[in-house]
């Protein structure tokens, strides 16, 4: 019968049958039980008089289209408010779910019926699995070692205080908030959810508000990485304890098996990955066979941690963490990222929104106490961050901005809340309230930080610098913008021709400009920017940045009188000039060198490279704080500049400030 009839809802069964099924399957489940029809996958077509939405595959395709389109529309609507994409994705699920569109009976029964959610959740968790693999792949473990004591202490204080205050407040009101759930598990899940910082979301916010290259941005990113690591450890612990029927002995076995899995990944999988990388010399791409085996390993890692008793995403995250940065990581990112982040990941956030049923929120006391717990934990994180920041001679305003940045919510918290709901540690009401207050907190981050944070450069002003005011025996500070590796030889030639010496040195900031396209890899790579240890950071950056940074560092090592600091700025072309001008002010440079928006062809002509580059150069000229030079490369190489002992320079002088400069 199951193969020929549609899904049978338990509400249509006799009362005693419903009770028996409910009690036999889940002790605390609701009375609605769905019997799935596994054979009803594809339809014979509408001409046979069949409704396609009664079959799982056409219905799933329609749901994916609706979710992706709704998410993209909300992203466009929220873009003027500089809200991260995760907000639009969660709100899309809330709008499509029982809170808004679910109130329309036709919509609830035809587009998102109860029987279809199993397929949607399965694919959503597969996308989540691969996204967490990408996050681990793009996260540099060495950042924790070189982030410094300040970022480490801020991360620990930013987790410990909200965890303690959140759990303490929850413990006081546990009888009003957590009815009929495992008390210890509830406190632990809530503590983890309240103390995490969303690392990918934070990177996106910092890039959009132009703080990625600032001291505040670097500290926030380093602390968020440490915070994310601790959150995964606490999440594994919470899952081990959350099993209501498990004994302390079985929970101990879960933790020990989890530690063994992590050690196996670092001491078995990681050397295997290095062996694969060494098999392919530099410049050779990784074979498809190896890429396929590595991607299959993601699912094997997920199965292992699921079998242990920890969520499968933990295995995918650790598996991605142990893969060495470099060519292998770049290949994996290029093959996976657009499909996973653009199509599969919104399904997970949509599921979180579909589970958020505001009609279940009826008890004002429960809502008020949960909001109070969330506010207390957020206040604790802000105050703890302020105290640590002030102790490190940061200003009070910077401490407040850093505290709100550390309160950024996103993926990890949604995972924690969803697991808590699956484990029946959180009921529908608590889940809905926590999702909404997390969304509200994240929407507050950008406006509060932009209002509170006042960099010193805006307070003291900037005295306009140019070449005329620079002394001939003093250091010349130059900012060279680089779009691609093709721009590097001409800039190095310019440095050679400038005749730097130890008495008249040149300090050049080599700024690699990367277009912000919404890809997580650009975001996660950007936390290395403005690092003094650019050599060690370069190893984990995308291939183009790697080659650019290495070229300038090699030139610095071979030339005398030149110091180079490599930086990366990730922005849309429309606002990229702001990054350049802000950096020029902060570093007090006298000259900005821009590549021409055209490049030379084989026949000697000039052709446009990118239509956006011309607008970028014009914006720099209109808003620059110092002198600007546009470098037109007509084939002069660094080798030619070195070989020639005498250079002949022709200068047409008509007068005016530009010619004098």
The total number of structural domains that make up the chain? 2
Instruction: Check which CATH number belongs to the domain holding 219 and give it.
Output: 1.20.1530.20
Say whether both 388 and 521 belong to one domain. Answer: no
Torsion of CA 604, 607, 610, 612, to 10 degrees: 110
Among 397, 426, 452, identify where a domain stops: 452
Residue 70: its pLDDT value, please?
A: 94
How far CA 313 is from CA of 127, 131, 276, 319, 347, in Å, comes to 10, 9, 24, 10, 15
Residue 268: its pLDDT value, please?
A: 93
Residue 459: its pLDDT value, please?
A: 37
Domain boundaries, position 590: 462-660
Query: Is 628 part of any domain?
Result: yes
Among 452, 471, 490, identify where a domain stops: 452
Say whether both 418 and 539 belong to one domain. Answer: no
DSSP assigned state of 580: H
Residue 330: its pLDDT value, please?
A: 75
Residue 304: its pLDDT value, please?
A: 94
DSSP result, 327-365: HHHHHHHHHHHHHIIIIIHHHHHHHHHHH--GGG---HH
Closest of 239, 164, 168 to residue 195, by C-alpha: 164
The predicted-structure confidence for 77-125, as pLDDT tens digits, reads as follows: 998 887 888 888 888 988 998 888 888 888 888 888 888 888 899 999 9
Q: Is 308 exposed, middle or buried (0-12, 13-18, 19+ CB in 10 A)?
A: buried
Residue 247: its pLDDT value, please?
A: 61
Closest of 597, 657, 659 to residue 633, by C-alpha: 597
From the CB of residue 215, how many other CB atoms can be counted at a distance below 10 Å? 14
Instruction: Check which CATH number belongs to the domain holding 645 and give it.
Output: 3.40.50.620
3-state secondary structure 193-253: HHHCCCHHHHHHHHHHCCCCCCHHHHHHHHHHHHHHHHHHHHHHHHHHHHCCCCCHHHHHH
Closest of 569, 564, 565, 566 to residue 582, by C-alpha: 569
Say whether both 419 and 475 belong to one domain. Answer: no
Q: What is the rounded CA–CA span in Å between residue 261 and residue 321?
A: 13
Assessment of whether the complete model's pTM goes beyond 0.85: no
Say whether both 645 and 579 belong to one domain. Answer: yes
Say whether both 292 and 365 belong to one domain. Answer: yes
Among 452, 482, 514, identify where a domain stops: 452
Say whether both 324 and 439 belong to one domain. Answer: yes
The tokens of 412 are what?
Answer: 């990890």
Q: Which residues of the chain have pLDDT under 50?
A: 1-29, 244, 457-462, 520-522, 524, 526-542
From the CB of residue 539, how many other CB atoms can be counted at a distance below 10 Å? 15
Query: Is 8 part of any domain?
Result: no
């Amino acid at each position: 019968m199951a193969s020929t009839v549609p899904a049978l809802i338990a509400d249509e069964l006799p009362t005693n049958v419903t009770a028996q099924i409910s009690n036999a399957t889940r002790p605390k489940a609701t009375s609605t039980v769905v019997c799935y029809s596994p054979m009803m996958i594809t339809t014979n077509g509408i001409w046979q008089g069949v409704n396609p939405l009664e079959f799982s595959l056409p219905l799933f395709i329609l749901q994916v289209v609706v979710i992706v389109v709704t998410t993209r529309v909300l992203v466009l609507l929220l873009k003027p408010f500089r809200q991260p994409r995760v907000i639009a994705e969660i709100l899309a699920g809330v709008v499509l779910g029982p809170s808004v569109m679910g109130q329309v009976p036709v919509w609830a029964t035809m587009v998102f019926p109860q029987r279809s959610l199993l397929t949607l959740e399965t694919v959503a968790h597969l996308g989540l699995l691969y996204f967490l693999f990408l996050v681990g792949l793009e996260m540099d473990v060495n950042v924790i070692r070189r982030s410094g004591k300040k970022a480490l202490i801020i991360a620990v204080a930013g987790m410990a205080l909200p965890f303690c205050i959140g759990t303490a407040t929850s413990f006081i009101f546990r009888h009003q908030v957590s009815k009929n759930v495992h008390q210890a598990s509830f406190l632990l899940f809530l503590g983890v959810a309240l103390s995490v910082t969303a690392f990918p979301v934070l990177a996106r916010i910092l890039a959009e508000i132009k703080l990625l290259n600032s001291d505040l941005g670097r500290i926030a990113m380093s602390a968020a990485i440490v915070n994310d690591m601790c959150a995964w450890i606490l999440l594994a612990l919470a899952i081990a304890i959350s099993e209501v029927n498990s004994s302390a002995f079985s929970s101990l076995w879960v933790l020990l098996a989890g530690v063994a899995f992590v050690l196996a990944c670092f001491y078995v999988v990681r050397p295997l990955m290095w062996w694969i990388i060494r098999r392919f010399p530099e410049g050779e791409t990784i074979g498809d066979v190896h890429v396929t085996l590595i991607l299959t390993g993601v699912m094997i890692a997920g199965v292992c941690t699921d079998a242990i008793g920890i969520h499968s995403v933990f295995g995918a995250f650790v598996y991605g963490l142990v893969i060495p940065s470099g060519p292998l990581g770049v290949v994996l990112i290029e093959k996976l990222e657009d499909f996973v982040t653009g199509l599969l990941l919104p399904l997970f956030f949509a599921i979180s929104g579909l589970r958020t049923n505001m009609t279940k929120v009826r008890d004002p006391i429960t809502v008020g106490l949960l909001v109070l717990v969330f506010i207390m934990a957020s206040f604790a994180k802000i105050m703890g961050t302020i105290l640590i920041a002030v102790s490190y001679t940061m200003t009070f305003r910077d401490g407040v901005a850093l505290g709100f940045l550390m309160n950024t919510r996103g993926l990890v918290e949604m995972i924690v809340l969803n697991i808590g709901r699956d484990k029946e540690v959180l009921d529908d009401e608590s889940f809905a309230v926590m999702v909404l207050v997390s969304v509200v907190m994240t929407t507050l981050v950008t406006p509060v930080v932009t209002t509170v944070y006042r960099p010193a450069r805006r307070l003291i002003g900037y005295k306009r610098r140019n070449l005329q005011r620079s002394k001939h025996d003093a250091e010349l500070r130059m900012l060279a913008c680089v779009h691609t590796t093709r721009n590097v030889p001409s800039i190095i030639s310019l440095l050679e021709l400038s005749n730097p010496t130890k008495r008249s040195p040149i300090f050049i900031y080599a700024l690699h400009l990367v277009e912000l396209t919404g890809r997580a890899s650009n975001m996660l790579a950007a936390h290395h920017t403005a690092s003094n240890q650019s050599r060690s950071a370069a190893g984990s950056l995308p291939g183009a940045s790697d080659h650019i940074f290495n070229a300038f560092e090699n030139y610095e090592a071979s030339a005398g009188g030149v110091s180079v600091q490599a930086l990366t700025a990730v922005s849309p072309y429309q606002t990229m000039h702001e990054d350049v001008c802000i950096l020029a002010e902060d570093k007090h440079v006298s000259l900005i060198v821009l590549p021409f928006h055209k490049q030379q062809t084989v026949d000697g002509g000039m052709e446009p490279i990118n239509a956006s580059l011309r607008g970028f150069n014009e914006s720099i000229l209109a808003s620059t704080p110092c002198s600007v030079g546009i470098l037109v490369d007509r084939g002069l190489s660094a080798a030619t500049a070195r070989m020639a002992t005498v250079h002949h320079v022709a200068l047409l002088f008509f007068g005016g400030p530009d010619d004098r400069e």
